[in-house]
Amino acid sequence: MKRIYHFCLSGKNELICRTDPDYYRAFNTLALAAHETDSSLLAESIMSNHIHVCVRSADIKEFVKKFRYSYGRYFNNKYGRRGQLGEENCFISEIDGFYHVLAAICYILRNAMHHGISPTAFAYKHCSASALFMKERGIDTIKTVISPRSHYRYIPRSAQSPSNYKMSPSGVFLRENVLDVNDTEHYFGTVRSYLYYMNRLSGEEWTKEQEKDMNGKEAISLSSIEKAYSPSSVKEMLRNEHGRRAVGMNDIELCSLVDNILLREIGASSIYTISEQERRRLLERAHNECLCPERQLRRCLGFREV
C-alpha cells in the first residue's frame, strides 16, 4: 500500500551540490528512483546541503536507497570523494491527513525562501514550485527538449528513461513531466488557493487547519520540517518569509570561486584531493577575498567538521 512520506537528506556540514549540473543530476536521480520504485513525487526542493522530498511510495526505503546510491556514486566519481554522501540516517516521516500533507508540500516548496536564497518559492529553479498550475499562471508549457538518445549524457547508461520524461537542453528532466502534478494540485484545488498558500505566513492558522484531519498527529511546521536546525535558525527562516534574501555569495557562487579559481591556481582538481594544510591555506585566502560567514566557507571548502 502506498503512503505519503517526507524524506530529507542532509549533508550535515558538507555540500551535496556544488554546481548547477549537480542540482540537475540530483533531480534526475530522484525522478529515476521514483520511476524504478513505482513512486510518485508530490514536491521536492534541492538545496546545496540538503534535499526535501514529499513522495507517495509503497517502499520508501527502496526509493531512498536507489536515490542515495546513484547520486552518491555520481558525486564521488566527479569530485574524487570517498564514502557515503550525507548523514548516515536520513529523516523519513510518514504524513497522514489531507491538511498535514498540504502543509508539508507548502513548507518544502518554500524551502529556498525560508533559507534566504530566494524571495519567493517561484524564483528558485531547483524545486517543483513552478511546475504547478502552469497554464493558469500563464507559464509557457511548450519548451525546447533534447532527444531521448541524448538523455544518457546526464543520467547513468544503465538507467531506464521513461518516455514521458522530457529533458531540457541543460540536461534536467522537466519537473512538470516527473511530478505527479494532478495529485499535488488536488491539495490546493485552485491556482488562487495555491498562490495564497505560497505566500501565507507561518503561524497558528496552519496548526488549526491541520486539526481538521482529526488524526491526533503533530502539526507539520517549519520546526518539524527543519529538525536539523536550531530554534534561532528557525526564527531567522520565519523572518525570511517576508521576502528577505541573504546578502553575499550563495553556496553555488562560492563553490564556483573555489573550484574554478582557487583550486586551479594550486593545480588541484577537487577539494577532496588536497591536503588538510592546503585546505586551511585556501580557507585563510577565502576569508580575505570573500565576505562570507566562516561556516559557509568551511562547508564549501570541504571541512566535514564545521
pLDDT tens string 245-278 = 666 789 999 999 999 999 999 999 999 999 999 9
At 111, the amino acid letter reads N
CA distances, 153 to each of 22, 38, 172 (Å)? 13, 24, 10
Q: Write the DSSP symbol of residue 150.
A: G
Say what the pLDDT of residue 247 is. 66
Between the alpha carbon of residue 10 and those of residues 16, 79, 87, 150, 240, the distances in Å are 8, 18, 6, 31, 21
Quote the pTM value: 0.95
Query: CA-CA-CA-CA torsion for 240, 234, 27, 139, nearest 10 degrees?
Result: -30
Predicted confidence band at 215 (pLDDT cuts at 50, 70, 90)?
Answer: very high
Q: Over 80: is that where the pLDDT of 143 sits? A: yes
Q: Is the per-residue pLDDT at 217 higher than 60?
A: yes
Domain 3-240 fold is: Alpha-Beta Plaits (3.30.70)
Q: Sheet with 40-46: list strands edge to edge.
A: 40-46, 50-57, 3-10, 91-94
Q: Which three cell numbers stand for residue 154?
A: 546526464
pLDDT exceeds cutoff 60 at 306? no
Question: Which of the residue ranges 31-40, 169-178, 275-284 would you say has the lowest mean pLDDT?
Answer: 275-284
Q: How many CA atoms lie within 13 A of 135 on its CB side?
A: 4
Say what the pLDDT of residue 305 is. Answer: 64
Give the C-alpha distances (Å, rounded to integers) separating 156 from 45, 79, 152, 159, 244. Answer: 22, 17, 6, 5, 38
Nearest in space to 224 (alpha carbons), one of 99, 91, 66: 91
Cβ atoms of residues 74 and 25 within 8 Å: yes
Dist. CA 289–CA 292, nearest whole Å:
9
Q: Which of 182, 154, 152, 179 is nearest to 164 (CA)?
A: 179
Q: Residue 42 in 3-state DSSP?
A: strand
Q: What is the mean pLDDT of residues 142-147?
A: 92
pLDDT band of residue 63 (cuts 50, 70, 90) is: very high
Question: Residue 52: helix, strand or coil by DSSP?
Answer: strand
pLDDT tier for residue 169 given thresholds of 50, 70 and 90? very high
CATH 3.30.70.1290 positions along the chain are 3-240
Q: What is the pLDDT of residues 4-19, one digit of tens each?
A: 999 999 998 899 999 9
